[in-house]
């Protein structure tokens, strides 16, 4: 791939929030970038859905096209930045760009989670790099850190708060004592939640990122349907209050780990109780944080803005700087080094943790003893119990149990028997308690 003298010509697909940030910040820091990369990074053409839409950046109409294929067909363009979002169309765009020998920068975590194996193989076959720092944790350079700075480590575990919208909602529920729906409304009003926030609150935005981190750490892709993902929709103010009284905060947590000697990979996302003594519990609002434990370096923590125009565009521009350096110096394909195939997911039933269980029980003697008998028969210890006095007469009262380490399958079996008791209502909340020790 050739570039003109000290110039990287960029085709930008998408001029929405992030695309506008990339265009704006490339202009803002063009002199810094030129000094640091030795190249002039210039957007020469932009593909948009609606060229007449009012935007925050001033772009010449001659630069716009409604067909992303025009970027692929333009021989003057060296690199394509894919920021159109979605799945199928973005996959077609990235595939076409790589086949045309153009480097690609993308922030599309959904495409990578679903098609990453094929795209990485194509990148290698074409000797054309694919970069995706912006796909995970916004402005936090977590991909570069794991891929480059921690390359000498076996990754023991990664724990990540990697969705800003859900973290904002849970923070407001904890700090302000408001309900889930009220916190979601606030997030929308402040622009922290999309008009359709389903991927944020159902956990799948974080799930896609966790799949990418799992591949990066262990060299195997897991298919989305093999990954356990739960969102925060069912978290109540009552659960937040009980977690606080036990010394925990509830966070939507991504867990990526692999036990030594076991080829199976554990990748899951769920709202979890985190000890207030751990630094991850203090990550509030729209901020993200990723704790990576390497067998040489020990625990490292990466913290910063996980979303937003400037944070995400910073990650895209970082990748563009790498593209400039590598293409001008004719280094070749230096994006992800492809290896491995589809991996085997550790079955959810075999995943191990402590648990928070909130039940609604009849206010009568002997209920706790019957429940404890069931957990004991299943080999599950009870760490602590909260059974608050009812503020007013009620047939049912909450009962909160903190359960010792057990597999999810064992806890599920015990829970089924508990819910079959006449004195226990079917309504319940089961959350993991993560000690974050490794």
Q: Which residues are marked as active site?
A: 209
Cβ atoms of 232 and 180 closer than 8 Å: yes
CB count within 10 Å of CB 262 equals 11
d(C-alpha 258, C-alpha 111), whole Å: 24
Across-strand partners of 293?
157, 299
Pairing of strands 228-229, 266-275: parallel
Q: CA-CA distance, 37 to 119, in Å (whole number)?
A: 27
DSSP one-letter string for 211-264: HHHHHHHHS-B--GGGSEE--STT--HHHHHHHHHTTEEEEEEEEEE--TT---
Count of H-run helices and E-run strands, the chain: 14, 16
Please compute, for residue 271, the number of CA atoms within 13 A of its CA located in the half-sphere on the CB side: 25
């Amino acid at each position: 791939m050739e570039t003109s003298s000290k110039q990287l010509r960029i085709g930008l697909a998408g001029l929405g929030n992030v695309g506008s940030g990339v265009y704006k910040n490339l202009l803002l820091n063009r002199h810094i970038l030129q000094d640091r990369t030795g190249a002039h990074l210039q957007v020469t053409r932009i593909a948009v859905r609606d060229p007449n839409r009012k935007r925050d950046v001033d772009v010449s109409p001659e630069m716009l096209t409604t067909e992303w294929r025009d970027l692929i067909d333009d021989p003057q363009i060296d690199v394509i930045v894919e920021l159109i979002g979605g799945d199928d169309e973005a996959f077609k765009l990235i595939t076409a760009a790589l086949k045309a020998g153009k480097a690609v920068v993308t922030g599309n975590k959904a495409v990578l989670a679903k098609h990453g194996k094929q795209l990485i193989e194509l990148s290698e076959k074409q000797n054309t790099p694919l970069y995706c720092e912006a796909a995970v944790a916004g402005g936090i350079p977590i991909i570069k850190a794991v891929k480059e700075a921690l390359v000498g480590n076996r990754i023991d575990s990664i724990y990540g708060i990697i969705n800003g919208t859900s973290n904002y909602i849970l923070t407001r529920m904890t700090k302000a004592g408001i309900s889930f729906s009220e916190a979601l409304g606030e997030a929308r009003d402040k622009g922290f939640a999309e008009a359709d926030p389903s991927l944020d609150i159902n956990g799948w935005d974080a799930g896609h990122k966790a799949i990418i981190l799992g591949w990066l750490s262990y060299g195997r892709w897991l298919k989305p349907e093999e990954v356990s993902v739960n969102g925060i929709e069912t978290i109540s103010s009552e659960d937040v209050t009980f977690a606080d009284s036990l010394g925990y905060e509830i966070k939507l947590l991504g867990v990526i780990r692999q036990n030594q000697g076991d080829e199976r990979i554990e990748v899951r996302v769920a709202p979890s109780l985190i000890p207030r003594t751990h630094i991850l519990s203090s990550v509030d609002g729209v901020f993200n944080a990723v704790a990576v434990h390497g067998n040489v370096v020990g625990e490292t923590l990466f913290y910063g803005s996980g979303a937003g125009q400037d944070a995400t565009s910073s990650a895209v521009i970082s990748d563009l700087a790498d593209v400039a350096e590598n293409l001008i110096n004719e280094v070749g394909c230096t994006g992800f080094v492809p290896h491995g195939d589809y991996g085997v997911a550790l079955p959810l039933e075999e995943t191990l943790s402590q648990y928070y269980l909130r039940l609604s029980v009849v206010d009568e003697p002997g209920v706790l003893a019957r429940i404890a008998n069931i957990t004991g028969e299943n080999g599950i210890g009870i760490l602590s119990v909260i059974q608050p006095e009812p503020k007013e007469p009620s047939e049912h009262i909450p009962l909160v149990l903190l359960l010792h380490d057990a597999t999810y399958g064992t806890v599920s079996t015990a829970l089924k028997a508990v819910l079959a008791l006449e004195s226990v209502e079917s309504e319940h909340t089961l959350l993991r308690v993560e000690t974050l020790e490794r």
